[in-house]
Structure 1
């Protein structure tokens, strides 16, 4: 027989609340002072634990998705602000209507994740090019000339800074 489990019935409710806070399985393992593999074992052995994690993550993800959606599309809401004196010994609640404008970063995030083919930042280009021998020779000539010029500029800087005393004594290629 193996070692007795560290699992307690109250862990299911705690796991639910931890998931609402956005914790990962690894972070919950740290909270419960067990390994992540133990968390995975508890999910198998204790269905209520697994269900509470799934529910907590689902509720948290849905709340964030709703907030992101409202941020991306703009939101209109009525807020009961506070109770103020009505001047006759009573109080009345002040309500305010607010309109939040759409937020472009939230829109971009939403679209990049929902429609990545149309909205991703990375653009893939599939192109092929055939070069004849004359064009390749011209490219090689220009490359060699530019590298020689860069080499000369580098030597001049080294001489100017006193790193190389004699321009002929450099070991630069």
Structure 2
């Protein structure tokens, strides 16, 4: 194999084997954008987009990697929106040798703490999960007939009074 061929990047054949697909999936799971993944592969975003259409195994690797992170973020947002309790371990240095000044970290106490529900996370969640009920902009559709002539006549009559 020539040196040029061994060092080539950005050829679709190089990215369809199991190890390479696992690498792409890992990048997606790590939260890299498609632009960053394309850069790591040595191709343009447009090329990655075309390859996803053409090679289902590449498309699936990206999808699988992103699903994991999406679920983790979704779960974290729900937890934050609802509030949660956790235990905090407080450690403090304790002098164990007064002559040398040697200290040791010891658990002093365990404290139960509460994180209050986050209204911003709740709003974001509801606007995205139930947009018909919680979006800011509402589409209103009116039906029926409006007789503008009679409305104008009534308005003129009141103006003349």
* Structure 1 residue runs without a partner (length 5+): 142-173
Q: 1:46 to 1:125 in 2, by over 3 A?
A: closer
Could you tell me which residue of structure 1 aligns to residue 126 of structure 2?
A: 111
Instruction: Specify the SS of the correspondent of 2:142.
Output: coil
Pick from 135, 147, 154 the counterpart of residue 131 of structure 1.
Answer: 147
Which structure has more strand as a fraction of its residues? 2
Contact kept, 8 Å, 1:25 with 1:36, in 2: the verdict is: yes
Residue 30 of structure 1: aligned partner: 39
Matched-pair contact (CA < 8 Å) for 1:7–1:42:
no
How do 1:67-82 and structure 2 match up within 5 A? 67-80=76-89
TM-superposed CA distance for 1:6, in Å, is 6.2
Higher relative contact order (CA 8 A, sep 6+): 2
Q: Is the 8 A contact 1:72 1:102 kept in 2?
A: yes
Distance in 2, matches of 1:14 and 1:4, equals: 15
What TM-score comes out, normalization by structure 2 length? Answer: 0.62
RMSD: 3.4
Higher-Rg structure is 1
CA apart distance, 1:17:
3.5
| TM-score, scaled to structure 1 | 0.59
Instruction: Give the unaligned 5+ runs of structure 2.
Output: 1-9, 98-103, 157-161
Tell me which of 60, 63, 67 is aligned to 2:69. 60
